[in-house]
Copies of this chain bind each other. A is one copy, B any other.
Amino acid sequence: MPVTLPSSHCPPPALAQLLGITPDGPLAPAWSVSQWFGHRGAALQPEALRGRVIVLHAFQMLCRGCVHHGLPQAQRLHGILDGPEVAVLGLHTVFEHHEAMRAVSLQAFLHENRVAFPVGVDEAGPAGDPIPLTMRRYGLQGTPSLVLIDRAGRVRRTSFGAEDDVQLGATVAALVCERPV
């Protein structure tokens, strides 16, 4: 006698709640990126990645929490989940020490840390605003921040600070598995 799986929503409400996934979210705004490292061709945009879950790791190369926790985590995530269903990307959102973290320094940083996913340089804001354009547009509070965008292009979670690997892996997989309701 065959075994049948019980029917399920995905993610089931109880799991969505444990993971802090809200059922909906605003469409992900465009990214303003002055330069991409680790990516050639047309500029990456949320819309062009529609259909994949996007994990956007917003960081600064001199931010301690980014170097010691956020970036290694993004690298693990990239090594394990990046593929047809998941896109892991970095965004260098410099909002302090601007002179210290120019593109030439970032490039060496990415090389030395063997970052294998594409990293965009968030475009400088208008005169007088230290916050770069994309960071401002997404309302990020600092670095490291994680932005999770679902396959339909909606921002489903934005978090600031350290996040647990189990929680993050589960959340990304749950978003990959979502189906139309």
Contacts and interface: CB of A to CB of B under 8 A. Distances in A.
Interface of A: 3-8, 10-12, 14-15, 18-19, 27, 50-51, 62-64, 67-68, 73, 76-77, 80-81, 83-86, 96-97, 99-101, 104-105, 107-109, 111-113, 150-154, 164-174, 176-181
Contacts of A108: 62, 96-97, 99-101
A81 B170 contact: yes
A15 B11 CA distance: 15
A102 B64 CA distance: 19
**Copy number in this complex?**
4
Nearest to A86: B15
A5 B178 contact: yes
A6 to B, nearest CB: 5
A64 B112 contact: yes
B169 A6 contact: no
Contacts of A101: 105, 108
Contact of A62 (B3, B109, B172, B176): B109
Contacts of A10: 10, 176-177, 179
A177 B8 contact: yes
Contacts of A152: 3-6
B166 A77 contact: yes
